[in-house]
Structure 1
């Protein structure tokens, strides 16, 4: 019997294939990040228990993607979800959603559009000075928290949620202004000569996901399930920095990074 995570992997591969096609059409580079990079190297595909997919682009390429890709997707089954294309979406990065699906996530209740997705992260220049790094991150985190609070992101659903009225145009305009301010903080070092790059929305501790330009531009293609996807050639140093001895599987009781609780597709509901 096909499990929930196997169904999600199957759909997410379609998202990845569409994403790669967009990058090829726009002549922009991407690479796998985080657990998806680890999965590509250690499993030649998904980490078996993980339903998350992470890809990253340098900020200039990311901005081109979110600007130009929507017009390329108008006749497709995919939706590029960004802080601008979905006014109820509060995160600082993009997602590519499969419109034919609906999902419910663990510990993430909100009014944004839902569907099986891949995460698309901008990789921004950061300062070399640790004090300026802390200052930028603190500003980002404060703005991020304000946006998520105002868009009513919650860890759990409650019966009272259905009685809440929709956000007013004035409230949505206030959130939109905060999104612009957050983006300005993320990109404040973009025109500097900084040689360090970071995914500011990363779940990992700060130092573990700082990249050099060569790590993000010197790429190779490797098998990922049925696809060929791009990863940094220096993946060994990146993964060692992030995970230590990344070739060793975690204990079985830690093989539980499932983000999704429920999937609706083909007029059917799937749960584990």
Structure 2
């Protein structure tokens, strides 16, 4: 059973950054979600790897980076596909798997496991989730195989960037947006339904581009999602040959055996030098800012 000492939840300054009590509770809640994912992976023979800031935090801080607020993991293509196929049947009641394959409204190109779909500040819930009332989860990023031929790799990269740029503006009714959509149709040889959910259509197209190549014909892995310098960088498959445990907030997470290779691709050779960043590429810090406003409005309504 996952437990934390009561003093763990005290707000404190870590490396010049103040981590509030609620963030500590959100950290603990996310670790609980990760442990459930880990249970499913162990049961089904699936390997996951801590990634992005979670991997860097494990190596450099033995836990969360003080100014980080979420957990990211990655899976190799076959494991990612298998996890999405079986997770819904394995997750506890009320938990949700969000992905392009099981949710018609979801538009992200990575999957997510969350503990609920609503804020809950009832005592029983707070007792179970370390005093965190917010929806918390873990992001699961698919690793992809990269073509060995540089020209083919460049084509894959350019296709992905074109579609991603179109997705970013697809909801804007401008000439520029329409020109980008037409470019996507031309280079990808598809027809987009302007009356449908364009963001989702483009996300599905990004998924097709991501899985253009498989392990049998390729020798290297990459993270195609354009969040960091690691995007489209070539990482030897040996770096992800297996996972090993590493300490993380008093428990442990699984990291790639070649974690140094991965981190150098992600953050550069000086990755052990902290650089304080208060928001990620996906959201403002803290991730529960909007949920907190909703909870405050709900409390006002009861007064």
* Corresponding residue of 2:260: 236
* Corresponding residue of 1:59: 77
Matched, 1:248 2:273: yes
Q: Per residue, is there more strand in 1 or in 2?
A: 1
Report the 3-state secondary structure (helix = DSSP H, G, I; strand = E; otherwise coil) of the residue aligned with 2:143. Answer: strand
Query: Aligned to 1:220, which of 244, 260, 267?
Result: 244
Q: Choose 64-73 or 78-87, whichever is displaced more.
A: 78-87
* Separation in 1, partners of 2:206, 2:265: 28
Which structure has more RCO (C-alpha within 8 Å, separation ≥ 6)? Answer: 1
Report the 3-state secondary structure (helix = DSSP H, G, I; strand = E; otherwise coil) of the residue aligned with 1:54. Answer: strand
Matched, 1:171 2:171: no
* Corresponding residue of 1:137: 157
User: Which residues of 2 match residues 82-93 of structure 1 at below 5 A?
Assistant: 82-93=99-110
* Corresponding residue of 1:196: 220
* Separation in 2, partners of 1:86, 1:169: 20
* Corresponding residue of 2:137: 117
Gaps of 5+ in 1: 103-113, 153-167
Aligned-residue offset at 1:186: 0.8
Gaps of 5+ in 2: 1-9, 12-19, 120-133, 173-192, 280-284, 298-303
Report the 3-state secondary structure (helix = DSSP H, G, I; strand = E; otherwise coil) of the residue aligned with 2:103. Answer: coil
Report the 3-state secondary structure (helix = DSSP H, G, I; strand = E; otherwise coil) of the residue aligned with 1:141. Answer: helix
TM-score, normalised to structure 2's length? 0.69
Let me know the Cα RMSD of the aligned residues: 3.0
CA contact (8 A) 2:57 2:64 kept: yes
* Separation in 2, partners of 1:23, 1:181: 28
* Separation in 2, partners of 1:198, 1:19: 22
- Number of residue equivalences: 239
Report the 3-state secondary structure (helix = DSSP H, G, I; strand = E; otherwise coil) of the residue aligned with 1:171. Answer: coil
* Separation in 2, partners of 1:51, 1:237: 24
Larger radius of gyration: 2
Aligned-residue offset at 1:127: 0.8
TM-score, normalised to structure 1's length? 0.76
Matched, 1:127 2:127: no
* Corresponding residue of 1:260: 287
* Separation in 1, partners of 2:158, 2:231: 15
Aligned-residue offset at 1:46: 0.7
Matched, 1:49 2:67: yes
CA contact (8 A) 1:90 1:147 kept: no
